[in-house]
């Protein structure tokens, strides 16, 4: 494959990935997950807890 055809193929792949990324950004489920993630990080910072500590607590809950 020539460098030019390889470049064009990479451009097409990138355009497809960018389109997919834009669709994901509009997904309400993703927005909820991102909000949850940010809230969880804020709580972990507020209580000075590590992800390992949080998982330990969650695993011990009935």
What pLDDT, on a 0 to 100 scale, did the predictor assign at position 61? 80
CA 54 to each of CA 8, 28, 35, 47, 49: distance values in angstroms, whole numbers, following the listed order: 46, 26, 18, 10, 7
Domain limits of the chain?
Answer: 3-60
Beta-carbon count within 10 A of 44 CB: 14
Average pLDDT of the residues of the chain: 95
- pLDDT score at 1: 75
- pLDDT in the model for residue 5: 96
CA separation, residue 40 to residues 29, 30, 33, 47, 49 (Å): 16, 15, 10, 11, 10
pTM of the model: 0.65
Q: Give the mean pLDDT of 56-62.
A: 89
Instruction: Kindly report, residue by residue over 23-37, the tens digit of the pLDDT.
Output: 999 999 999 999 999
Terminal C-alpha separation, the chain: 58
């Amino acid at each position: 494959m020539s460098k030019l055809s390889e470049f064009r193929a990479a451009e097409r792949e990138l355009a497809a990935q960018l389109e997919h990324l834009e669709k994901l950004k509009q997904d309400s489920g993703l927005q909820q997950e991102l909000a949850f993630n940010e809230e969880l990080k804020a709580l972990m910072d507020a209580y000075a807890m590590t992800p390992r500590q949080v998982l330990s607590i969650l695993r011990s809950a009935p």
